[in-house]
Chain A
Amino acid sequence: MAKSTSVLGRSEARAGLLMISPTALYAVLLLAAPLATVLLYSLATGGRGVVTWDFSLANYIEVWTGPVYRAIMLRSLLVALSVTVVTVLIAYPIAYFVSFHVAPSKKSLWLFLITIPFWTSYLIRVFLWKVILGYNGVINSGLMGIGIIDEPLTWINYNVGALVVTLAHAYAPFAILPIFVALEKIDRSLLEAGQDLGESKLRTFWRVTLPLSMGGVIAAVLIVFIPTIGDYVTPDLIGGGKLPMIANMMEVQMLKINNKPLGSAIAVSAMLIVALISLAFVLVNRRFLGAGK
């Protein structure tokens, strides 16, 4: 490809643009344009289906200072961050086990086993947790049946903890895969070198394996955090409608109260939160690794 002149380069650019155009056009029309519309709506004011185009930040002021909205946003953040921490912490040893202690020929099988539950109906999995943790649910009826408790436990249902358990289960495989991929890429001879130089296994893990897999951990954090903060089904089914999160609040404003401008401001705020927290994680990771990456 030494004779790749500017003419060839230009024709390659044209061919590439032509090739990507159907897919890109679809994304522009059905993603970029709607997102721009939501942004525009968020600057209008209105209610009960009426929209006034006055380009003010009134909706944002309401969303960020109103006590109800603040409480719901803080709950969403708390739930999403707890789910992320729990999921990633319990996922790391699994990814480590599959990468370092499973024979190469059996790795695909383990990954397959881990990913199957993720492909079974999300709704049904969430509902099953309601059935498991509910007041008259599987745990309570089971424990009462064998006589360990006399009355149903109430601390396991309809609270933030139940939301966290359900979501942590739903997003578990998402956390394992990126960490596994990062661990697989680690050059095993580095670990041997660490031990040859007199480091203990634990210190080798702490000083070599963990930092080298940090990229995968950050990817896992983002993959779990982003969908959980926007989850709609779990607060509705597990929280019994009493623990709404951002997505439920969006539905109420957009459809039930029919205040699209305020609903749009919530959507934009949610995107902003997601973007800022994602950025923070990525920056922390950079810091952690120094200039290495």
Chain B
Amino acid sequence: MKSRGLKAYAIGYLIFLYAPIALLPIFAFNDSRIIAFPLSGFTTNWFAEMWADRQLWQALKNSLVISGSTAVIATVLGVFGARASTRYAFPGKGGLVGLIMLPLVLPEMIVAMSLLVVLLAISVPLSIFTVILGHVLITTPFAVAILSSAFQSLDKSLEEAAYDLGEGPVSTFRLIILPLVAPGIISSLLICFTISLDEFIIAYFLAGADTVLSSYIYSQFRFPAKVPAMLALGTILVLVSVTLLSIAEFFRRRGIAKTGGKDTGGFL
């Protein structure tokens, strides 16, 4: 049947998707500085070399500060944006929401360069802080999208019941709405964190003299001798992102189950 052919195609496609990533552990454990076949032997040296790299740890620390701050700020901004766009009607809504979501359809280089031009013009020194400014801008649309679906599946009568029982808007938000959208908030935090951690262009151009993980990896690719250690790092990063995503997916599903919605699958 046609369906069997399609399934074979789908499996072939998954192999195409995963093949490059499968090379990461293969060459991260291969005992040669040259990334080519035939494999020459098993080693864990590259992991040891990576672990001993002081600059890498500093870059990782910077990245974690950036991603953590970005995730929190973008999610807070996302709560405001999503709540406003799902609950209220007001003039200029389309335009404002469109502006907030615009980074999704703007090449990142343009976001980075326009921010850079302004920051240089008003002589703000480039640092981790300016990277956070940029990352919040590009992750907020993701936070708004994730949280909007959380707010949308919220039953409005629960909120009205709270008002009828004498709660004010703030306590209703804290006692009723927040717990119900909590899974959405957690999944937004995790996804904004992951996007920020992986982002390169803004981190590369707006960090000034500070290095972050992605720009450090990029600079190391210029030295062939450093590549195996970077593949070791890549192996670890893949494991970390898969773990984080599995947790995000778990919370997303639990959130859907909690509000009684139907699972439509996927993050985006």
Contact = CB atoms under 8 A, between A and B. Distances in A.
Interface string A87-123: 0001001101110010000011011111111011111
Interface in A23-53: 23-24, 26-28, 30-35, 37-38, 41
A243 interface: no
A172 B17 contact: yes
Interface in A1-43: 9, 12-17, 19-24, 26-28, 30-35, 37-38, 41
A222 B105 contact: yes
A114 B245 CA distance: 13
Interface SS of A by simple majority: helix
A123 B214 contact: yes
A158 interface: no
Contact of B100 (A23, A119, A180, A255): A23
A250 interface: yes
**Which of A22, A98, A278 has most B Cβ within 10 Å?**
A22
A20 B218 contact: no
A216 interface: no
B214 to A, nearest CB: 6
A131 B109 contact: no
Contacts of A210: none
Contact of A117 (B21, B23, B264): B21
Contact of B10 (A13, A94, A124, A231): A94
Interface in B62-94: 76-78, 80-81, 83-85, 87-93
A131 B10 contact: no
Given A23-B81, A121-B217, A201-B2, A93 B9 contact: yes
Interface in B116-142: 116-118, 121, 133-134, 136-137, 140
28 contacts: A12-B89, A12-B90, A19-B80, A20-B85, A21-B80, A22-B77, A26-B136, A30-B133, A32-B99, A34-B117, A34-B118, A37-B121, A38-B110, A38-B113, A93-B6, A97-B9, A98-B10, A108-B263, A119-B198, A121-B238, A123-B221, A127-B221, A132-B23, A136-B34, A141-B38, A227-B108, A254-B117, A274-B106
